[in-house]
Amino acid sequence: MTDTETGFDRRMLEALTCPQTQTTLRYDAEKQELISKSAGLAFPIRNGIPIMLVDEARTLD
């Protein structure tokens, strides 16, 4: 269940929630982001580690 390219363990999605809305996240393997539709934010994954800071998140289009 680990994305071999980045080292991100998809099982982490079961434990992680959006820090702003506390809702579930969707993993975008292509962009290496965790998406929060409810907050309209995409949290980056760097070296297999999700950066769950609102200040680091990208606003969705």
**2 within a domain of the structure (yes/no):** no
**49 within a domain of the structure (yes/no):** yes
Helix (H, G, I), strand (E, B) or coil at 14: helix
Domain range holding 22? 10-59
**21 within a domain of the structure (yes/no):** yes
What would the DSSP string read from start to end of 27-45? Answer: EETTTTEEEETTTTEEEEE
Q: Which residue has the tokens 């099982």?
A: 11
pLDDT in tens, the chain (61 residues): 566 666 788 888 889 999 999 999 999 999 999 999 999 999 999 999 999 999 999 999 8
Give the Cα separation of 33 and 26 in Å (integer): 8
Give the Cα separation of 17 and 8 in Å (integer): 16
pTM of the model: 0.87
Q: What is the domain count for the chain?
A: 1
What CATH number does residue 29 fall under?
A: 2.20.25.10
